[in-house]
Amino acid sequence: MISQHIAQQLNQQFNNESYSAYFYLSMSAHSDFIGLKGFASWFMAKYHEETTHAMKIYKYILDQGAAVRLLAVAQPPSDFASPLAMLEETLRHEQSVTRRINELVDMAVSEKDHATHIFLQWFVTEQIEEEATVSEVINKVKLIGDRGDGLFMIDNQLGQKAAALAKTALSTPTSGGS
Ligand code: FEO
């Protein structure tokens, strides 16, 4: 059993994760549109990951005997200045998700809600990995450059990362990682 307040906050987080999914789907569509198939696959993999995150929360709310309330999902951006700008926007977005997860942990702790506290630990760990992965890609793009041969190389590498992610998702359906 969770409090009304925690249930409401988790419903909001379901919405935030759904927005994250939409956000990456938009980046995937844009990448495909401008011919970056590797970027498109990587952002598509992130889209699938975010839907998994949302559904973890959905299941937890129901498992705790609370109601799932679906809220409107905001419109994501659809135009991006450059591939690097997309990646930097991704990092800023994940940092804001991390702050939000930390707030949820604080709420669970202040309510002495041990179950929700434990449930959220998976998300805390996931955020460390998400931020680290995006930072690594950004550093590489800054080093190699996001045009010409450099961009071609990064696009190929992101395509390979996406293929590896898809394989992992097939063997462990609820696993995260980007
Ligand atoms: Fe669901 Fe990328 O955090």
E strands in 7-82? none
What are 42-87's pLDDT values in tens digits? 999 999 999 999 999 999 999 999 999 999 999 999 999 999 999 9
CB 145 within 8 A of CB 151: yes
Is residue 112 pLDDT above 90, yes or no?
yes
Q: Report pLDDT for 145.
A: 85
The response to whether residue 113 sits with its C-beta less than 6 Å from ligand 1 reads no
Residue type, 108: A
CB 16 within 8 A of CB 100: yes
d(CA 29, CA 14): 23
The response to whether residue 13 sits with its C-beta less than 6 Å from ligand 1 reads no
Half-sphere exposure at residue 106, Cβ-oriented, CA atoms within 13 angstroms: 6
Pick from 9-13, 75-79, 149-153: least confident: 149-153
Is residue 41 pLDDT above 80, yes or no?
yes
* 48 token code pair: 């699938």
* % of the chain with per-residue pLDDT over 90: 86
DSSP class per residue in 108-143: HHHTT-HHHHHHHHHHHHHHHHHHHHHHHHHHHHHH
The response to whether residue 50 sits with its C-beta less than 6 Å from ligand 1 reads yes
**Mean pLDDT of the 91-115 span:** 98
Name the residue with the closest Cα to ligand 1, atom 1: 50
* 160 token code pair: 């390979």
CATH architecture of 4-171: Up-down Bundle (1.20)
> Residue ranges per domain, the chain?
4-171
Name which of 27, 34, 42 is nearest 77 in CA terms: 27
Q: Report pLDDT for 170.
A: 66
